Structures are given as C-alpha cells and as structure tokens.
Chains A and B, each alone.
Chain A
Amino acid sequence: MTILTRLLGSSALLASTVLATQALPAEPITILINTSPWYGGFEALVEKYEADTGNKVSIDAVPLGGLLEKARNAVRGPAGNYDIVNLSNAWVVEFYAGNYLTPLTDIDPTFSFGDNIIDADGLLYWNKDKQWPMKHGGVPMAFSPNANTHLWYYRTDQIEKPPETWDDVLKTCRSKGGEVDYSVVVRGARGNPIRFAFSTYMLSFGGSIEKDAPNGDFTVTFNSPEVKHALELYIKLAKECGPPNPGSIDQGEMIQYLVSGKAKQAGIVVAAQAQMDDPEKSAVVGKISYTVTPRPADGANRDVWGSWQMGIPANVPAERKKAAMEFIKYFQSDDAQTYYAEAGGIPVSRTVLEGPLSEQEKFRWMRPYSQASRYAKQLLQYQEGAEIEQIIGLRLNQALIGELSVDDALNTAATEIHDVFVRTGRRTGLLPPLQ
C-alpha cells in the first residue's frame, strides 16, 4: 500500500466518520430482518449506530421461511409494527407496486444514493410509469444491507491460476485426482437454488428468460440456443466434475464440499465467504481465493443478483419514518460500511470494496465482488416471477437429474412460462421449439 493510498483511505474514513456521527436524535425504530449468514455483521452495526448516535433500534430477527409473511402482514394493516422491513429481490415488486413502502425522497427530499453505492441493477428504485424497478425515471425506495451475487471460489493450492473461462474450469475438471474428490460443485436442488445459480451461466451465454420485459415484450426466450448451450455446460460440469446426484445439492452442501476440502471450486454467493476462513468450520483456511464467475471463451462475464432490500413501510408514523432515514443515511457512510465489513457484513459501498480494506488478505473477496457488481443483473422482476421461478427450477432440475432431455426441459419450461404470461395478459410469444 502506498503512502498516498493510506492517506486517501484515512481521509475518507475520517470524513465518513464525521458524516456518520452527524445522525440526528430520532425515535426508536424496529427492523424486521432474517437470520442470514451476514446477520451478525448487521447486528454489530446496529449496536454501533446506537452507541454513536444514542438512537434506539430493536431488531426482530426471524428465520428466512417466516420473513415474507411477517413483512406482508406488517405493511398491509393500517398501522405497521416495523419501521424497516428486509425483502428479498424476488418480493420487492409486490411491495413497490402495491405502494406499501414510502419512497425515501418523500421522507427526505435531499436523499440520494451516492454513485459508490451498489444499487443492484437499479432494484433500489421504482419507476411507477413503467412499473419496473430501475434507476432511470425511478425514485429511491430501499437500501441494500447485502446485494449478494456469486463469486467463483477456488482452491489456490490446487488451481494455479484463477479460471477465466469455462474451458479453464473444464481443464481442471479433467485433471482431477489427488486428495480432492471433486473439481466443481454445481448447485442443482430444485426451485430457487438451481434457477438462481444457472442464471449466471445463462446470462454469460447471452440467454434470457423473456425478450424485453422492462419494455413490455414478454416473448419467451428460455428455449433459445444460447440457453441450451448454457444448460449443456451446466450439466456437463455437474456430471463430469462434481459429486454424484447433483440434483439435491444446495448451497449448504456446496459450502460443506469446499470447507471439508473435498472440492476444488464452486460458484457460491459472496455471503458464504466468511465460512472459508473460519478455523472452526473450515479445513481449508487461507486456501480459498475468489474471482468473478468464469465466462464462455467468446462471451462476457455476467452474473445475477440475489439481493436484499430494506424499505420503510408506508403505514408507520412520520416521525418513525424520519428515524428510519437517519439509520439509512448512517448505513451508507463509508465508516459504517467499513465497520460492517469488519463485523462480517457484505458492504454495498464500492469505496470500501475497492479501498484499503480490500488489500488485506481477509478481504480478498472484495475486489472480485465489486467487479461482479458492475455487470450483475436482476431477473424475474414482475408479479409472475415466483411462479416462473418454480417452473424453471423444476425443469432445470429434471434436466440435471436426467428425467428430461435438455431440449425437452427448455421447450416445456418455455411453453409453461408462455401460458403464465397469456393468463396474466402480457404481450408474449414463443420461439420455435428446440430440436
């Protein structure tokens, strides 16, 4: 680290500390959140906020399975209990379109996200005219406690150079052996797990689910040759390089394979990185490094967001909305973001992700994550998203376990997605079936 870098870093930290501690005295607030792996970092940051500002924050931390219903109940009634609710990217459209959240600029007209803040492909904004989450023409609706996209985790003692393309990955697959049982672990469990993981591959091959949904063209493109190539690669990696029966492998198993030293590499969300260097959980402490998800030899790096968003419900009193805004402003500051990272959270400030902290060995995941954050996309941002995810998640899983051929899986999924769009009155169409 150069002296100049240190000085710049220190100045930025000092400036943000001053800004952070300028939060105004405010009413006590309550936050509804899920107990994800990064929750500990968030809790620590809340404690710091209370210590720095004297403001009080209560947290209602619930398992992921119960979060959506609690959030729905909280925002649908005439008076809500929660001043900030945490929402998966799969749910935000329901909350934005239903006017259940207060635009942040309605509470503080001067508020804006800095250019350094990851907005998860515009998901923090809502364009009411287009009924689409996007920065252009949109108003800020929420902030991300974790934007969460994939990183490629790989064993530095087994793989000399970080793989850049899928060909590089396949080469390491074919040279498997030694003490490591599997070269690649692929996430194949039915539903969201395989849909989410496969989306990265699909996007990198230029594939998509629908043609141009933000502009109202819901022509189904899921059975295109690009998606077919991506799925063929996905199955090849799973069957030739990974553990047997990949159809039941979810994120927990992928992490187990890595931390137990049985696998060389896997694409897992950034939130899992903390477990790799935890000596109580990992047999490969210091042996895992991170890069962006590989790409096709003639394609580009792409990824998909599995982000979290926190919004302020419309049905809470104005004073509590203002208090929630004080927390949001504090959370965005570099000081808070730095503390958040040190406490196990995943910052959304690129200033922090690319700053002095990222040069430490412990935070070697930060730069590839920041890089991926520049091109990662949001998918399924419409009301039918959950139903379509179930269709894709089932058909991909059936292709992976051999119940359906690649062509049949994609053609069937495309037809079923088309049926959903027809039922909901979208402008839609279908590609000719794959043969």
Chain B
Amino acid sequence: MFDRHFRLITIAPAALLILSLTVVPAIELVRMAGAKIAFTNDGVERTAALAENIGRLANDWIYWRALLNTLAFVITSTLAELVLGLVLALAAQRMTRAKGMVRTLMLMPILIPPVAIGNMWRLMYNPEFGIIAHLVDQVAGVRLDMLGSTSTALLAVIIVDVWHWTPFMFLILLAGLEGLPEEVMQASHLDGANSLQRLRFIVLPMLWPAIAVAFVFRSIGAFKVFDQIYLLTSGGPGVSTEVLSLYVFKVFFQNNELGYGALLSLVTIAIVCSYLAVFRIAQRTKGAL
C-alpha cells in the first residue's frame, strides 16, 4: 500500500509536467479552432467561428490536395527508406571488417542541417548548373528540371527524403538484425535453408518489431515534412509539392489566421492518428494470423 502511494507521489510531478505540456496546448488548439482570432492592444480578441472555419475547410481544395500529396509522400518515401535500409542493414551485417566505419558514414546525411540539404539538393537539381541535370544530359541528351516540372517535383523531394532518412532505417534495422538469436540462424543453416528462405521465414518475422518501430517513426516524421520542401519548392510548381505542414504554416504564420490554422492542425492530427490506427490494426491482424 505504502509502495503504491509512494510511486504515485513520486511520479506525480513528471505526470503533471507532461500533462501541462501536452493537454493544455491541445485544449487551447481546440478552443482556437472554433474561433476567429485577432490581436489588439487590449489582448486577444476571439469571435466564435466554428461553422465558418469548417465551411472553409470543406471548400479548401489546396488543403485536400496537400493531403493527397502528403499521403503519397509518406507512403512512397517510408517504403523506399524501409526497403533500402533493410538491404543496407543486411549487407552491413555480413561485413566482418569496417562495419563501424560504414555505420558512421551512413550517419552523415542525418547529421547535415536541413537548410544545407535544401540548398545542396536545389543546386544539384538545377537544370543549368546541377550535377544531376548534367549527368542526365550526358547520358540521355535531355535537360532535366526535376523541381521545375509538376510531374517530377514531388518525386524530387521524395528522393531527397529517402537520401536523408534511409540511414535512420538502416541503424534501427541493423540493431534489430544484430539482436537476432544466433542459435536460430545456425539451426536454420543446418536445416539447409538458403539465404532467401532464411530471410523470408526467419529474419523478417523475427525482425518485425524493429521494422514496425522504424516504419511508424519514419511515417510520423514524413507526415511532418516541412523544411526540405519549404527550401526546395515552397510547395510549387503549382501545388504539386504542397504538403499539410507547409500549408498549415502558410495559413498560421503568413496569413496570420490562427483560428482556421488551428482547425487545419486538428484535422491533420486526426489524419495522422487515423493512419497510425490503420497501421496498428493491420499489425494486430497480422499477429492474429
């Protein structure tokens, strides 16, 4: 009994802190979403405008286009990063020498600040001065402008994201691979399983928790993508690379429409939660099977 009270008392400050840092802003966000907000010298002026804000959202075609772009970005980039990260992790696991060096080198893209990544890739993609356009021109005789064309701009920012975050997948999956029980692997070897069979029936099932964690983490990160798109395309050309976080930023900070921006934020949070719930259900279904 004493132990239970003691635990509650000691955990209370941390719990209160977390509550105040998450629940209070969430409540404020909900309050804001139903209002039109103006700042005056007398303070913040709120006018009820829930119906107006919802009506705007229903007709806000840029938001819905941004949602489609975001889903395409999240699914494509996360899957690509997962597959590449897994391939690289499997290759690195087999290395007997220089594994540490490879792991350190793989970390490099994660360490580079987003602003540098944005500028670096923008220059590399430049159809006149960029190395990518130059190489494509040499090979195919076509002057490629990845960021300037509506048909390739989203792919261009996905490529940058894959370059940036595949090492993150690699590190999680390599740690997962190295944690697999050696005796199971040896037993499967003795049983005559070939590499593909070992991957399909031993490694992937046992690695599933690590894959799930990496996938969820990167999905959440991809939903929040902002800096690289802001720096590479600012959502253009047209609305081809407009994503949710960028659009919410524009409404909140450029248009200074805090009420409507809050509603967009809430809907975006709900969409991310739904996505994760679908993933969780899929995971449970797989477990049940």
Contacts and interface: CB of A to CB of B under 8 A. Distances in A.
B and A form one assembly: yes
B70 to A, nearest CB: 17
Interface stretch (A127-135, A216-224, A241-249): A241-249
A43 B50 CA distance: 47
Interface in B107-158: 126-129, 143, 145, 147-150, 153
Interface of B: 39-41, 52, 62, 126-129, 143, 145, 147-150, 153, 230, 233-239, 250, 253-257
Contacts of A257: 128
B131 to A, nearest CB: 15
Contacts of B40: 98-99
Contacts of A245: 127, 145, 148-149, 237
Given A190-B234, A256-B129, A386-B256, A248 B41 contact: no
Interface in A95-141: 98-100
Interface of A: 65, 68-69, 72, 76, 94, 98-100, 181, 189-191, 243-249, 253, 256-257, 260, 262, 314, 386-387, 390, 394, 397-398, 401, 403, 423
A390 B254 contact: yes
B128 A403 contact: no
A244 B234 contact: no
B236 A248 contact: yes
A342 to B, nearest CB: 30
Contacts of B62: 394
A244 B234 CA distance: 19
Contacts of B236: 189-191, 247-248, 394, 397
B256 A94 contact: yes
A388 B230 CA distance: 19
Given A98-B39, A99-B41, A397-B238, A248 B233 contact: yes
- Residue in A243, A248, A262 with the greatest tally of chain B CB atoms within 10 Å: A248
Contacts of A397: 236-238
B145 A403 contact: no
Contact of A68 (B52, B128, B234, B253): B253
A98 B62 CA distance: 30
B147 A248 contact: yes
29 contacts: A68-B253, A69-B253, A98-B39, A98-B41, A99-B41, A100-B41, A181-B128, A189-B234, A189-B236, A190-B234, A190-B236, A190-B237, A190-B238, A243-B127, A243-B128, A245-B148, A245-B237, A247-B236, A247-B237, A247-B238, A248-B148, A256-B126, A260-B128, A386-B254, A390-B255, A394-B62, A398-B238, A401-B238, A403-B238
B226 to A, nearest CB: 11
A403 B126 contact: no
Nearest to A90: B254
- Residue in B129, B147, B148, B256 with the greatest tally of chain A CB atoms within 10 Å: B148
Contacts of B235: 190-191
B237 A401 contact: yes
Given A68-B253, A386-B255, A244 B238 contact: no
A262 B143 CA distance: 15
Contact of B127 (A68, A76, A244, A398): A244
- Residue in B39, B235, B236 with the greatest tally of chain A CB atoms within 10 Å: B236
B250 A390 contact: yes
Contacts of B150: 247, 401, 403
Contacts of B238: 190, 247, 394, 397-398, 401, 403
Contacts of A191: 234-236
A98 B37 CA distance: 13
A256 B128 CA distance: 10
- Residue in B143, B147, B238 with the greatest tally of chain A CB atoms within 10 Å: B238
Nearest to B38: A98
Contacts of A190: 233-238
A253 B255 CA distance: 26
A394 B239 contact: yes
A99 B128 CA distance: 48
Given A98-B40, A247-B148, 16 more contacts: A181-B128, A190-B234, A190-B235, A190-B237, A190-B238, A191-B234, A243-B128, A245-B237, A248-B237, A257-B128, A260-B129, A386-B256, A387-B257, A401-B148, A401-B150, A423-B52
A397 B3 CA distance: 66
Nearest to B237: A247
A310 B238 CA distance: 33
- Residue in B40, B149, B255 with the greatest tally of chain A CB atoms within 10 Å: B255
B268 to A, nearest CB: 18
A245 B230 CA distance: 19
Contacts of B255: 386-387, 390
Contacts of B237: 189-190, 245, 247-248, 397, 401
B236 to A, nearest CB: 3
A87 B204 CA distance: 55
A262 B40 CA distance: 50
A256 B145 CA distance: 16
Nearest to A194: B236
Contacts of A189: 234, 236-237
Contacts of A247: 148, 150, 236-238
A99 B42 CA distance: 10
Contacts of A253: 126
A68 B142 CA distance: 41
A244 B149 CA distance: 10
B59 to A, nearest CB: 9
Nearest to A395: B238
- List the 3 closest pairs (A to B, CB-CB), nearest first: A190-B236, A245-B148, A248-B148
Contacts of B147: 248
B230 to A, nearest CB: 8
A311 to B, nearest CB: 15
Contacts of A94: 256
Contacts of B233: 190, 248
Nearest to B241: A190
Contact of A244 (B52, B129, B143, B250): B143
